[in-house]
Amino acid sequence: MNTDRRAALFDVDGTLVDTTYLHAVTWWEAFRQSGHRVPMADIHRAVGMGADHLIGHLLGPERDRDVDAAVSAAHKTLYAEYWPRLAPFDGAADLLRAVAGRGWTVVLASSASAAELNAMRTALDAEDALTAVTGADDVESSKPAPDLVQQALAEAGTEPGNAVFVGDTVWDMKAGARAGVACVGVLSGGHCRQDLLDAGAREVHDGPGALLARLESSLLK
């Protein structure tokens, strides 16, 4: 392990690619198909968790767990309809390339499954900036558990103190903080600035384009 290597870890959903509200709508419909009425606002606040946490978070521990697989499968099917139309945020790909160009090892750390992550990577079109990619299929527990961030650190070959994690949700900030990594929040996923700060963000920017514009005064300078 190169303890001097600097790693920039990035969430993807809602951070680099504009997917948060697509997830909210498709989770809402997936729950409805299984007979559950879950308020859209509650779903939006839970987006960023992996399905292994999100369903229980929204339906509670006393739910009929036999429906979990059906809800998750329905969400995957509904969300996959949007894959050909996914779009990155302005400046997202340029941000990754700028960070890589400054000598950072860039790793994606997403709670998405491999198939969903591949769809977002296609939309993002910044493979030349990436050193590694890790997703929900690579770990036992997704965000807000620290597993994904820890796996991304292992892929980067560095220590938590030499890394920065960029994400858009409180779950990203909590996962990064639990892994001992400094966190940068972006508002592109619809979470408010104060919530991100309270969850552990050291700084918050309006979106990836805004972070790119302020790169030299950020934790990624």
Determine, yes or no, domain membership for 73: yes
Decide if 95 is inside a domain: yes
Q: For 60-66, what is the mean pLDDT?
A: 89
2 domain residue, yes or no: no
Q: Tell me which long-range contacts 66-70 makes (C-beta under 8 A, separation of at least 24).
A: 67/34, 67/35, 67/36, 70/33, 70/34
Do 36 and 105 have their domain in common? Answer: no
99/140 same-domain check: yes
Closest CA to 219 of 93, 128, 102, 132: 102
CA distance 203 to 209: 15
Domain interval for residue 36: 20-81
Q: Residue 154 domain-assigned?
A: yes
User: Are 105 and 34 contained in the same domain?
Assistant: no
Amino acid at 209: G
Instruction: Give dist(CA 8, CA 104) in Å, integer.
Output: 6
pLDDT band at 52 (very low <50, low <70, confident <90, very high): confident
Q: What is the pTM of this model?
A: 0.95
Last residue of a domain, one of 38, 61, 81: 81
At 71, the pLDDT band (50, 70, 90 cuts) reads very high
- Predicted confidence band of residue 2 (pLDDT cuts 50, 70, 90): low
When divided into structural domains, the chain yields a total of 2
How many Cα atoms are found within 13 Å in the side-chain-facing hemisphere of 116?
A: 27
What local confidence, expressed as pLDDT, does residue 1 receive? 54
| Domain shared by 96 and 187, yes or no | yes
Give the CATH number, domain containing residue 180: 3.40.50.1000
What are the tens digits of pLDDT across the range 110-153?
A: 999 999 999 999 999 999 999 999 998 999 998 999 999 999 99
Phi then psi for residue 162, to 5 deg, are -105, 15
Q: How far apart are CA 35 and CA 67, in angstroms?
A: 10
Mean pLDDT of 181-193: 97
- Taking Cα atoms as reference points, which of 206, 200, 162 lies closest to residue 187? 206
Predicted confidence at residue 4, as pLDDT, reads: 74
For residues 33 and 131, state if they share a domain.
no
At 50 the pLDDT is 85
Residue 36 lies in a domain: yes
Q: Is the pLDDT of residue 78 over 80?
A: yes
